[in-house]
Structure 1
Amino acid sequence: MPIKQATINALKILGLTDYESKAYLSLTSLISATASEISEDSGVPLSRTYDILKSLHKKGFLEITRGKPLIYRVVPPQDVFEKSRMKIKEELDEAESEVINIYESQISKSPAPIWLIYGSDKIVKKEIKIIGRAKSTLHIAAGFMFHEEVEKLNEALNKSLKRGVQIRIIAAPYNITDDEKIDISEDIKKLDCEIKTFQIPFIKAIIRDKKEMLLIFCKFKDGSVISQTAIGVWNQYTEFVETITDLYNLVWTMDLFNMTTDYK
């Protein structure tokens, strides 16, 4: 049956050559066959077919049954594509992380390393990126959270804890976002780190390694945060971030927490 060009292109993305694609597609219809049968069905020269099938086996696209002649059996396509999809995603994630680190290490040298980020989704993504870059410390103040944000941050923070990052969190017990209650401290206390509960104002901050910080603000009405008004201020002025970190640690030791719950 005719094969769409998009399918051929997809197989190239998976790392197959033209001949490998032809041989693989032939085997998906034959299911099990000898090299000569695959050569005849695919149009790939027999002199090249053995090496191509050996390469497809190495890449995980087929299995070989020993005998005379050798029998080649296609691996179920769903297994091949799922494995390849995971590998491609891992490679893309690794590449993205490396390129972002290069970009952000250089962008901080620009004349004004302060940027505004609009929208709760983009802000949460930036929070997770910052947490993922932490090497030694994270200081977080959470006066409010967006819906489903706590779960996403917990996952990122757990990864940082496994890397040995020291984390301190000052969190409000709860807040109202878009007229729905979010139990901040109840969910965050699942983390194995230093956490203090205090009804801080409607502001949020994440500070990494005394090198960068993200401040998040929202408008609120009748005690409820309006998430669509969210603005993040991403700051990489090292001197400023160091000062805010020192202030955070000073507040951490103050008596205002004596009447609040302290989790650790």
Structure 2
Amino acid sequence: MSPPQNKSRAIEELQAVGLTEYEAKCFVALSQIPSGTATDVSEIVDIPRTRIYDIAESLQDCGLVEIQKGTPREFRAVSTDVAMKRLQLSHREHLDNAAKALRQLTTPDVRDEASGVWRIEGKQKVAERGQYIAARAETELFGLFTEDAVFQDDCFRQAQSAIDRGVDVVLSSPDEDLRESLRARFPDATIWDPSLDWQTLEEFGAQVSRLVMADRHTVMLASLSKDDGDCAETAIWGEGSDSELVVLCRELVGAQLDELDAEDGSSRFSL
């Protein structure tokens, strides 16, 4: 990519994360020089010189630019790594605040809807829902994965985060190699060898890929279908004591979780 293309790309991406067009242009211009005056910046990008002072102060408030008092004033951009970290932290804080506000806005009707069974399509969306459920576990997290392809880095992080929070984590797979990998990676979790053959749906062109249950209150059951050689993942999920899916999985899995031997992950029951 040529320098002009890199410059345009950087300006576009900075605008995408909340900077105005002039703020993005000013920061990119200052990133190209050790430091500069308003005149120096206006010679690099098409911003009126008189506007640069206000723009630089706005960028200073964001922690992206430093201003040296004097006549004329000098401006300097912080390093790219520092700028990106500050933008990430700013967005994370805003998103956390938005999430808190949204949770306070949840109406009784929305909570009632969550008690049903909902469908998700697409591996990415299925994975994100599973991670969301895992992140909300407070006392117990159960995860069953039929193959390592669906147990990726984000799953590892969520499982470890749950363990760090003091949540009882039980991980299971019919794949012996995956169980051994999980046992080595999570010595503080219980690794369960399930008795059910999770490939039994293959006659319908699908197989169970993962089951995630948090606190026996929220459940997601996903399957992989193979049509014309493509492998697509879909899932159903439910939340609350009124959800048929939660009731079913709690009855099927709950008793076995109570009977699990934490030493070797064995169970006296068949699923």
TM over 0.5: yes
The correspondence for 2:217, drawn from 194, 202, 211, is 211
The correspondence for 1:154, drawn from 153, 156, 162, is 156
- Aligned match of 1:124: 127
The correspondence for 1:248, drawn from 238, 253, 262, is 253
- Per mean C-alpha deviation after superposition, the further-off stretch among 11-20 and 108-117 is 11-20
User: How far has the Cα of 1:219 moved from its partner?
Assistant: 6.3
Contact 2:114/2:239 (<8 A) preserved: no
Residue type of the alignment partner of 2:158: A
Per-residue CA deviation, residues 121-143 of structure 1 (Å, 9 max, x unaligned), is 4322221121112222223344x
Residue type of the alignment partner of 2:167: V
Per-residue CA deviation, residues 165-215 of structure 1 (Å, 9 max, x unaligned), is 2223343243xxxxxxxx221122122222222343214422222322112
Contact 1:173/1:199 (<8 A) preserved: no
User: How far has the Cα of 1:16 moved from its partner?
Assistant: 4.7
- Aligned match of 2:204: none
Structure 1, unpaired ranges of 5+: 175-182, 221-225
How large is the Cα RMSD of the aligned pairs?
A: 4.5
Rg comparison, structure with higher value: 1
Q: Secondary structure at the match of 2:169?
A: strand
Per-residue CA deviation, residues 217-238 of structure 1 (Å, 9 max, x unaligned), is 4569xxxxx9826442212351
Contact 1:150/1:188 (<8 A) preserved: no
For 1:94 and 1:107, the matched residues in 2 are separated by 20
- Aligned match of 1:113: 116
For 2:217 and 2:83, the matched residues in 1 are separated by 41
Residue type of the alignment partner of 2:179: S
Contact 1:116/1:231 (<8 A) preserved: yes
The correspondence for 1:139, drawn from 120, 137, 142, is 142
Contact 2:193/2:265 (<8 A) preserved: yes
For 1:145 and 1:90, the matched residues in 2 are separated by 32
- Aligned match of 1:188: 182
Structure 2, unpaired ranges of 5+: 199-207, 267-271
TM-score (norm 2): 0.64
Contact 1:171/1:199 (<8 A) preserved: no
For 1:10 and 1:75, the matched residues in 2 are separated by 17
Residue type of the alignment partner of 1:252: L
Q: How many residues align?
A: 244
Identity %: 22
